[in-house]
Amino acid sequence: MRVITGKAKGIRLKTLEGLDVRPTTDRVKEGMFSAVQFEIPGARVLDLFAGSGQLGIESLSRGAKQSVFVDQSAEALNIVKENLKKTGLIDFAELHQKAAEQFLRLCPDKSFDLIFLDPPYRNQILEKILPEVSRILKPGGKIIAEHEINCILPEEISGLLLQKNYFYGKIVVSVFSEKINSGEVTEV
């Protein structure tokens, strides 16, 4: 696993060991970042269920202003910290050892431009957590969720609209954004 592009391009990242660990492959990660490449520069990013921190680190490498890493595992956050030091991006990071639900309850509204969700697959947590995640998404922001193909997410949920699904074998990347009411007029 490596940083694909940007300031830390090519640097190999350390991962957690174990059966429950499933790092995002380079192919899937490249697809995720292609979907939001123009939103990254200057963005405040949340890497919820951080694991090794590769999604938040890739964001920083591509010009994000800050990445917030959340994982309930102290071991995972230690690896995130090692990877941040190795890439020279630690000054742009904030780490929280909390369960995702606990972090979301404490997080102020409209806090993030981009939110990456890559939870453990077997728990079917995405549908439960998307309503709370929608609350902390800034207007115009995007949520990028990686999940198994058999996890079917609704097209609309808690003010979010499914923009697109990207398929990579048994993996799906779903991109959500704020639903815009068609009756509203926006001044330019």
Model confidence at 135, pLDDT cuts 50, 70, 90, reads: very high
Nearest to 32 by CA among 67, 7, 63, 58: 58
Q: Where are the domains of the chain?
A: 26-178
Contacts of 134 (CB under 8 A, 6+ apart): 143, 157, 158, 159, 160, 176, 178
pTM listed for this prediction: 0.91
Task: Give mean pLDDT, residues 162-179.
Answer: 92
Model confidence at 18, pLDDT cuts 50, 70, 90, reads: low
Task: Give mean pLDDT, residues 156-169.
Answer: 92
Mean pLDDT of the chain: 90
Model confidence at 20, pLDDT cuts 50, 70, 90, reads: low
Task: Give mean pLDDT, residues 126-148.
Answer: 93
Percent of the chain at pLDDT > 90 equals 71
In the block, which residue shows the tokens 């999940």?
147
Question: What is the model's pLDDT at position 21?
Answer: 55
Q: Which one is predicted more confidently, 187 or 127?
A: 127
Question: What is the model's pLDDT at position 122?
Answer: 67
Q: Which one is predicted more confidently, 121 or 161?
A: 161
Q: Which one is predicted more confidently, 13 or 16?
A: 13
Evaluate if residue 69 carries a pLDDT over 70.
yes
Q: For the segment 86-105, what is each residue's pLDDT rounded down to a tens digit?
A: 999 999 999 999 999 999 99
Model confidence at 186, pLDDT cuts 50, 70, 90, reads: very low
Half-sphere exposure of residue 156: CA atoms within 13 angstroms, side-chain side? 4
Report how far residue 21's alpha carbon sits from residue 32's, in angstroms, rounded to the nearest whole number.
19
26-178 belongs to CATH 3.40.50.720: no
Report how far residue 14's alpha carbon sits from residue 68's, in angstroms, rounded to the nearest whole number.
18
Question: What is the model's pLDDT at position 39?
Answer: 94
